[in-house]
Amino acid sequence: MRVPRIYLDAALAEGATLPLSAERLNYLKNVLRLRDGQAVRVFDGQNLEADATLNLGKREASLVIGRVVMHSVESPLQIHLLQAMGKGEKMDWVIQKAVELGVTRITPVATERSIVDLKGERADKRHARFSDIAIGACEQSGRNVLPRIDPIVSLNDALAQTDATLKWVLHPNRGHAAKPFVARPENVAILIGPEGGLSGHEIEVAIASGFMPLTLGPRVLRTETAPIVALSVLQMQWGDFSFECAD
C-alpha cells in the first residue's frame, strides 16, 4: 500500500509532535480512511520530507515526526509559465499538470481575450485555489518543493516581472521551431495565450520585452494543451525527462 503524502507548513524535526488542522484531519481520516498509528509521509515545501505516524484522537490529531531527510526531485531547468486565464476549470487543470511536470513558477495572466476577468476578492479566492491545487499536485507527484504561484496580473505586469535566460511566446503562425542549444539555459519563461490567442498587439508587446515567437508544430493547440506540450518538450530538451527502455 502506498504511504500517503501531505504538505505541512511547519518545521520538520525528528521526534516532534505536530498538530493537524481540521482540514488535514478530515482529509486523512475521512477521505483516506487512515487509522491511528498508520504511516504518513510529510514534506515542508522546501525539500525536506519525513516519515511520520498518525496520532488520531476523536476530535483532533497530530503527527509524530520520524527521520527527516532532504530529498529533491526538482528539475535542473527552472521553468516560468505565464499562462493566460482560461474559462471554467481549464486553469485549474493547467496548474495541476504544470506542477506535476516540474514547473518552477506559474503566473496567471489576464489578457485582452481572456474570458475570465477576476478582480479584488474573487481574484484572491481564485489565487488561493490555485495554491491549494499546486499543493495537491506536489503531494501526488512526489515533489518536495512548492512552486511559486503568482496572483493574477495583467500582461504588462507579467512581462515586467519576468527575468529568464530564454523567453518564448507561443504563436502558431509567426513562431519558429525551437532549435537545440549547445548549453542548457539556467531558466526559461514561456507565455501562452487564452482560447482566442494573444492579440497582435500583445504579441508585439511580448516581443518588445524580449520574448521570441515559438511554434510547437503545424497544429493549433488548445490553451490547456499547449502548456503541457511545451513543458514536456522543455523537460525533454534540458530538464530531467529521459526515455528508458526495459531489457
Q: What is the pLDDT of residues 178-220, one digit of tens each?
A: 555 557 888 999 999 998 899 999 999 999 999 999 888 888 8
Set of cell numbers at residue 244: 528508458
Residue 238 pLDDT greater than 80, yes or no? yes
pTM (2 decimals)? Answer: 0.90
> In this predicted structure, what is the pLDDT of residue 172?
74
Calculate the average pLDDT of the chain: 89
> In this predicted structure, what is the pLDDT of residue 87?
82
CATH 3.10.620.30 fits 5-70, yes or no: no
Q: How confident is the model at residue 130 (pLDDT cuts 50, 70, 90)?
A: very high
Contact predicate 233/102, CB 8 Å: no
> In this predicted structure, what is the pLDDT of residue 244?
62
Q: What confidence tens digit (pLDDT) does each residue in 141-166 have?
A: 999 999 999 999 999 999 999 999 99
Residue 1 pLDDT greater than 80, yes or no? no
Q: Tell me which H or E stretch contains 104.
A: none
Q: How confident is the model at residue 246 (pLDDT cuts 50, 70, 90)?
A: low
Q: ∠161-209-108 over CA atoms, to 5°?
A: 45
- Write down how long the chain is: 247
Contact predicate 124/99, CB 8 Å: no
Residue 66 pLDDT greater than 70, yes or no? yes
> In this predicted structure, what is the pLDDT of residue 247?
55
Contact predicate 158/26, CB 8 Å: no
- What is the DSSP code (8-state) at residue 147? P
* Residue with grid cell 482560447, as numbered in its chain: 195
Quote the CA–CA distance of 138 and 153 in Å, as a whole number: 24
Q: How confident is the model at residue 177 (pLDDT cuts 50, 70, 90)?
A: low
Set of cell numbers at residue 103: 514547473
For residue 73, CA distances in Å to 46, 138, 187, 232, 241 come to: 12, 11, 17, 16, 12
Contact predicate 163/76, CB 8 Å: no
> In this predicted structure, what is the pLDDT of residue 133?
96
- CA 152, 155, 156, 160 dihedral sign is positive
CA 128: distance to chain centroid?
Answer: 13
> In this predicted structure, what is the pLDDT of residue 144?
96
For CATH 2.40.240.20, the residue range(s) in the chain are 5-70
Contact predicate 238/187, CB 8 Å: no
For CATH 3.40.1280.10, the residue range(s) in the chain are 78-237
CB atoms within 10 A of CB 191: 29
Q: Beta strands 39-43 and 5-7: pairing type?
A: parallel
Quote the CA–CA distance of 145 and 47 in Å, as a whole number: 5
Candidate CATH numbers 3.60.20.10, 3.40.1350.10, 3.40.1280.10, 3.40.50.12780; the one for domain 78-237: 3.40.1280.10
* List of E strands, the chain: 5-7, 17-19, 39-43, 48-56, 61-70, 78-84, 105-110, 148-149, 153-154, 166-170, 187-192, 212-214
- What is the DSSP code (8-state) at residue 186? S
